[in-house]
Structure 1
Amino acid sequence: MASGLRGLSSVQFSAIKARLYDGRFLSVPQWNIQPGECWAITGTNGSGKTVLSMLTADQVVLSHGEAMNLPARVAFVSLEAQARQIELERKEDESDITDEPDKGTLIRDYLAPLAKVQHLIDFLQVGHLLDSGFRALSTGESRKVLLIRALQDQPDLLVLDEPLEGLDQLSRERVLQLLTEQQAAGQAMLWVANRLDEIPSWITHLAFMHDAELLCQGHKDDVLARPEVQGLMHFNRPLGDFPAAPNADTLPADQPLVRMVNTRIRYDERVLFSDLNWEIKPGCHWAIQGPNGCGKTSLLQLITGDNPQCYSNELYLFGMRRGRGESIWDIKKHIGIVSSALQWEYRASTNVLTTVISGLYDSIGLYRSSGDDDKQLALRWLELIGLRHKANQSLQHLSYGEQRLVLIARALIKQPPLLILDEPCQGLDDPSRHLVLAFIARLAEQQKITLLYVTHHADEIPAAIQQRLFFRMQDGASRIEISRQ
């Protein structure tokens, strides 16, 4: 028997109306969570799933309706919680006027007292991170740390908003095993899901959201069988033609886009990887795979210029040797990128249309006037991803998944020679994920743009991506294997 809200009274919501940032109203006619039930919330991107989960913590200002018997202590594990912690770390760093490098909050301090959670640290294999700062962690590493912190607080209700997102396969298995054990032991949980295939078997009930409305609810199988739910979660859109880039880059076809010679990444005494010799030739796409924290992001940052060790290595980008007088803009103009780091960095007060246009100028925000041609091009990309109707809304008021779609359009608008896709499907619902994968497959087949595709889901790699770069962890360091099919 699923434990659900064991020990808590029935949580009840009635005739709920709440105004959202984008002007819509959250509508929840009736929703009751009974002891013994295990609930998940799912629905389309931007539908209000996260807001619905926040009702349980009394974090939504109601304009109408009533919420009764709310749990006293609610903890959240989510992509948004990660972003808030990273933002807090950066603000503290900006307030530090010393020249000493600051790691920020160490994980051993963040999780103190360690004795209380040592079994969780061991089970999720994060002990080697205790002397690292939170903002230095990979997406998957920080997710596991947030989960440990949330369980440490022994909340009445644990809200898990896409808890498996960004985790490698082994970490997903361990996190799911841990949550299954916690659920069986009586920990009340509310699961928020974009991917239907990741909803645990012990979930008994489902609430389905669409366009800020609780569309339907009930037993999981009954809800998933409803025609309106199947229609909304099924991808059946034709993929439109990509707009032409305004000023497509032309680089020599016989010259590698990237060449690394005996490349090494080292942090303090830890060598992340070394002796990497790697070439990326035009039209030869690469999938990059490996466990959380193995060095995938650091490798990409060498290419984008966001890791200062690009100057201490023999590295050639687009025919230029790094550190020989080229500017960062000489490099970035040839690159498009989608990543969690960019999404967290994109704090500029800007609307959706301006965000997409900024991809033409490689800036965070837009600091120059844009012409009608730029605006029309950006609108065409927003049409392709299904968000043209939100062109004038603030980027920060979109859901995490919608923001990810906007940043994909931003990366594609100039159709750069090299496109870096670091977990591009993170936070996307099933239809949006299939749309993005269709984009990637088309780009790979056309070979006009060279792709570096980082993913933890091997089944999502298009057949046209033939080269693989694998990170294998061995004695705390990464061993890199290159495979060409």
Structure 2
Amino acid sequence: MHNIIEINKAVARMPEFRLKEPADVVIPADTPLAIVGLNASGKTLLVDMLTGAHPLLGNEIKYDFSPSASNKASQNIKVVTFRDAYGSTGGDFYQLRWNHGLQEDSATVKDILKTASSSDMLSEELSQVLGLEPLLEKKIIMLSSGELRRVQLAEVLQSAPRLLFIDNPYIGLDVNARKQTSDFLTKVVEKGKTTLVLIVSREKDIPDFIQRILPVSNGKVYPICDKKDFLAHLHKEEKSVSYAIDAERRNAILSLPDHENAANGSPVVECNNINISYGSRDIFKDFSWTVKSGERWALNGENGAGKSTLLSLVCADNPRAYACNISLFGCKRGTGESIWDIKKKIGYVSPEMFRSYRRNMSVLKIAASGLSDTNGIYNREIDGDAREKVMFWLNIFGIGNISDKNYLQLSSGEQRLVLLARAFVKDPELLVLDEPFHGLDRERRELSRSIIDTFCSRKGKTLIMVTHYEEEYPSTIDHRLRLKKLG
């Protein structure tokens, strides 16, 4: 067995892309591996060095892609990050998704997969194992978060890469889809054509077929070790640590003034016998649901069951609400209220939002955009009351120290934490969290979960939250709605 990649005392040429210590890494061919570390530990920087995205200072990377005919990294290495299957215009698609008349010219799943080059792993097999058959005629912009990930996996695997890096392959997938994906990746490994490297922040996302771990911590790359030894060491450390917010931050949240007329029990969301379909597929049929102020709802269901569609109605993003019997905060849609009157009462975060926020601006400005519900743009001067509100929540989430940093230079986990803090900055009456812990490590998941619990213990605070991991729901959850696919 040969080594597919070797770096020795590697240092990125550009200072801003350097790890804290030079890296020594040897990746054997045809041996699946997981790069594991906390958010901002250096995982992404390491992968960018290994793939050549960040050129090295001095020492070159040694590649051996045999038996591939080419030894070019660009032809043999693929990286799947699940950030944006829509190209560079994710923000536009975020808006277009719910405007039915603007979807006609968008590509279908079949169109996307036809553009990928064929390999010995037949697209029919990909389609079957990843459950793509029902999605082939679906518009790409109408895919759920989990469906989108399955399509991206199929697309990249059709090109038969010699080395494949996958960043957090299981986020956004329901239990069945996670098993299907794991089964398929096991087949990829068994075929021996592609060396698979997963990048994960959650140790539970290390699949059974991976037995070797490359740990990264605090900007330092450690030697490859056995998974059993790595997990034993990790669990020993975690037993003695609590990541919940401290008493000072908890009291600061509880001391925030209540909104005028804040009370529990009044209707926040009322859906009465609504019907929504896309093409020939019914999403909702005679669906009714009421959410009252002070309630905390867990919203779940398999990928494609309609969770994102329902949240788009709640958050005033879907124009179909005007044709449905829906009331938000006591006002029936289509009776004269503006979407901004509704949005000023809602704090929202979603995987689609993460894809659409690609603006070159500071963390402070990204978080401040939550004050005015703009999509990543905040042109006003941030001072006085606005700055105080934003910095309050950045500090609550433990990221106040990076408020002046460029958002695009953060790790993906840090970016997600910024967008989560953004959902809180206007102290909303309704908090809508669509898979808010995507890509967060255990420390930041537990911190965020305790913040949500504390926030929702206040009078008049309502929560609707989606996650495919039961343990991620906050302890204050007191209502549940499970959606099922129709037909």
Q: What residue ranges of structure 1 are gaps of 5+ in the alignment?
A: 1-5, 476-485
Amino acid at match of 1:156: R
Deviations 1:287-319 (A, max 9, x none): 100011111001000011111101100111112
| 2:170 is aligned with 1:177 | no
**Which residue number corresponds to residue 192 of structure 1?**
199
Offset of 1:9 from its aligned partner?
3.5
Q: 1:257 to 1:22 in 2, by over 3 A?
A: farther
Change (3 A) 1:12 1:23: closer
Matched, 1:432 2:444: yes
CA–CA distance in structure 2, aligned partners of residues 171 and 431 of structure 1: 25
**Alignment correspondent of 1:79:** 82
4+ runs deviating over 6 angstroms:
none
The match for 2:389 is 377
1:130 aligns with 2:136: yes
Change (3 A) 1:416 1:473: same
Is this contact kept in 2: 1:41–1:208, CA < 8 A?
A: yes
In structure 2, distance between residues paired with 1:20 and 1:373: 38
2:264–2:460 contact (8 Å) kept in structure 1: no
Separation in 1 of the partners of 2:236 and 2:15?
25
Q: What is aligned with 1:213? A: 220
Percent identical: 32
- Counterparts of residues 23-172 of structure 1 (less than 5 Å): 24-25=18-19, 27-35=21-29, 37-69=31-63, 71=65, 72=73, 73-80=76-83, 82=84, 85=87, 87=89, 90=92, 101-112=103-114, 116-172=122-178
Deviation at 1:62, TM superposition (A): 1.7
Give CA-to-partner distance per residue, 1:7-38, whole Å, 9 cap, x none. Answer: x5342111111156856546443111224643
Structure 1 match to 2:295: 284
Distance 1:430 1:19, change over 3 A: farther
Q: Deviations over 1:125-175 (max 9, x none)?
A: 121211222222111001001111121111101212111110011000110
Distance 1:406 1:250, change over 3 A: farther
CA distance in 2, matches of 1:428, 1:398: 13
Q: Could you report, residue by residue, the CA deviation over 1:77-117 in whole angstroms, capped at 9, with x for unpaired residues?
A: 2223x3563637959x99xxxx9644422211211279930
Equivalent position amino acid for 2:259 in 1: A
- In 2: Cα distance, 1:390 partner to 1:83 partner: 28
- The 1:455/1:155 distance shift into structure 2, 3 A limit, reads same
* Shift in alpha-carbon separation, 1:87–1:22, aligned structure 2, 3 A: farther
Alpha-carbon distance in 2 for matches of 1:24, 1:389: 20
Residue 230 of structure 1: how far off its partner (Å): 3.5
Query: TM (normalized to structure 1)?
Result: 0.87
CA distance in 1, matches of 2:479, 2:222: 43
> How does 1:238-257 map onto structure 2 within 5 Å?
238-239=245-246, 240-241=249-250, 242-243=252-253, 248=259, 250=261, 253-257=264-268
For 1:89 and 1:408, locate their aligned partners in 2 and report how far apart those are by CA, in whole Å. Answer: 17
The question of whether the paired residues in 2 share the 8 Å contact of 1:245 and 1:414 is answered with no
Q: TM-score, normalised by structure 2?
A: 0.87
Letter in 2 for 1:219: D
Cα distance change, pair 28–260 in 1 and its aligned pair in 2 (3 A): same
Match in the other structure for 1:16 = 10
CA RMSD of aligned residues (A): 2.9
Counterparts in 2 of 1:347 and 1:279: CA distance versus 1, 3 Å: same
CA distance in 1, matches of 2:145, 2:373: 23
CA distance in structure 2 between the partners assigned to 1:233 and 1:58 by the alignment? 39
1:263 matched to which residue of 2?
A: 274
Can you give the 5+ residue segments of structure 2 that lack an aligned partner in the other structure? 66-72
Alpha-carbon contact 1:193-1:199 (below 8 Å) kept: yes
Distance 1:231 1:84 in 2: 38
**Which 10-residue stretch deviates more, 381-390 or 404-413?**
381-390
2:68 is matched with none
**Alignment match, 2:367:** 356
C-alpha spacing 1:18/1:233, structure 2 compared with 1 (3 Å):
farther
CA distance in 2, matches of 1:36, 1:63: 28
Query: Are the equivalent residues in 2 in contact too, given 1:304–1:332 (CA < 8 A)?
Result: yes
- The answer to whether the 8 A contact 2:3-2:26 is kept is no
Contact 1:18–1:26, Cα closer than 8 Å, also in 2: no
Is the Cα contact below 8 Å between 1:43 and 1:233 reproduced in 2? no
Q: 1:442: Cα distance to partner?
A: 2.5
User: Does the Cα contact within 8 Å between 1:19 and 1:25 map onto a contact in 2?
Assistant: no
Is 1:288–1:452's contact at 8 Å kept on the other side of the alignment? yes
Distance 1:378 1:403 in 2: 15
